[in-house]
Amino acid sequence: MKDMNGHQMEQPMAAPTPTSNGSSNGVAMGQALTLDQARRYARHIILPEVGPVGQRQLLAARVLLIGAGGLGSPASMYLAAAGVGTLGIVDYDVVDLSNLHRQIIHGHKNLGRPKVDSAAEALRDINPDVAVRTYNEPISSANAMDIVSQYDIVVNGSDNFPTRYLVNDACYLLGKPLVDGSLFRFEGRANVYLPGKGCYRCLFPAPPPPGAVPSCAEAGVLGAMCGVIGAIQAVETIKLILNIGESLVNRLLLFDSLTMEFREVRIPRDPACPLCGDNPTIHELIDYEAFCGAPVTTLG
């Protein structure tokens, strides 16, 4: 597989080695670490749950970020710093002054630039080990399956319902884990969907009617909340790659920054879910753009 510039993207495969916790999650093993990599990731490698083998798994992993906005900024920066070897970013917006109070991957000098270009430059500066692939286009039913199929895990940082449903459906249909996050004023949510263990439609089978739920732009959001939830998404993604700990699968984590309280709601798979239920009615992607009456953007 090659990137947009025709460069070879895949890490050479090494002999299969069990992960540090003795199990495998199907993420390919990367090549042996260089001396520079051993230094860069020393604080990871010293963790028994990561070790050199886990670090090689991180370097071999491919993660797609939907949106280079409020959630995508911290999530992608921590994933790049962690040495996740291939990061894809989908966003067709340009950096606007109103983004900068929360979208910390973008600086003032990048106002007016495409967000994917601004983000890619920042990520390459954080860690030149990381191959960044950019998609400066809206994600839709026309391209979602092709893009998502090239990655191991998807991190959702979109703040609109058409994209949220599209990404949820594409991940389920392709069997990809989805690390979800959302923000509303002073509150944030995070959880993980694994194919066969529930999806966003188990909670909300269909999008709300147009105008029923305010967007981030309409409701406002405390900028630093993006850091809390985006970092949780990065942590959950790294745990999935390493196959360690307990994932936020079937657990919706709710964070209220005003009371500084975390709560958790169990969300089992719904057998009546129209997508992942026992008798599904959705078998292909649906563009909800017109239905929701909102443009497909990824403000985060």
Within a 10 A sphere around the Cβ of 289, how many other Cβ atoms?
Answer: 18
Residues 121, 123, 128, 129: is their CA dihedral positive or negative? negative
Strand-pair category, 86-90 with 131-135: parallel
Name the residue nearer to Zn ion (CB basis): 179 or 202: 202
Name the residue nearer to Zn ion (CB basis): 82 or 199: 199
Both ends of the chain: CA-CA distance in Å? 30
Name the residue nearer to Zn ion (CB basis): 62 or 201: 201
CA distance 261 to 97: 31
Shortest Cβ 116–Zn ion spacing (Å): 30
Contact 152, 61 (CB under 8 A): yes
Shortest Cβ 275–Zn ion spacing (Å): 5
Q: Residue 4 is encoded by which pair of tokens? A: 């947009």
Residue 94, CA distances (Å) to 103, 107, 234 in order: 12, 12, 23
CB crowding 174-195: b at 16 or more within 10 Å, else e:
eebbbbbbbbbeebbbbbbbbe
Shortest Cβ 241–Zn ion spacing (Å): 23
Name the residue nearer to Zn ion (CB basis): 134 or 168: 168
Q: Which residues bind Zn ion (CB under 5 A)?
A: 199, 201-202, 273, 275-276
Shortest Cβ 180–Zn ion spacing (Å): 12
Q: Residue 40 is encoded by which pair of tokens? A: 């860069």
Shortest Cβ 193–Zn ion spacing (Å): 8
Q: Residue 257 is encoded by which pair of tokens? A: 């920054």
Within a 10 A sphere around the Cβ of 204, how many other Cβ atoms?
Answer: 13
Name the residue nearer to Zn ion (CB basis): 117 or 270: 270
Name the residue nearer to Zn ion (CB basis): 82 or 202: 202
Name the residue nearer to Zn ion (CB basis): 40 or 201: 201
Shortest Cβ 42–Zn ion spacing (Å): 41
Shortest Cβ 196–Zn ion spacing (Å): 10
Q: How many CA atoms lie within 13 A of 43 on its CB side?
A: 3
Strand-pair category, 251-256 with 86-90: unpaired
Name the residue nearer to Zn ion (CB basis): 250 or 257: 250
| Three-state DSSP state, 120 | helix
Q: Which residue is nearest to Zn ion (CB)?
A: 273
Shortest Cβ 52–Zn ion spacing (Å): 37
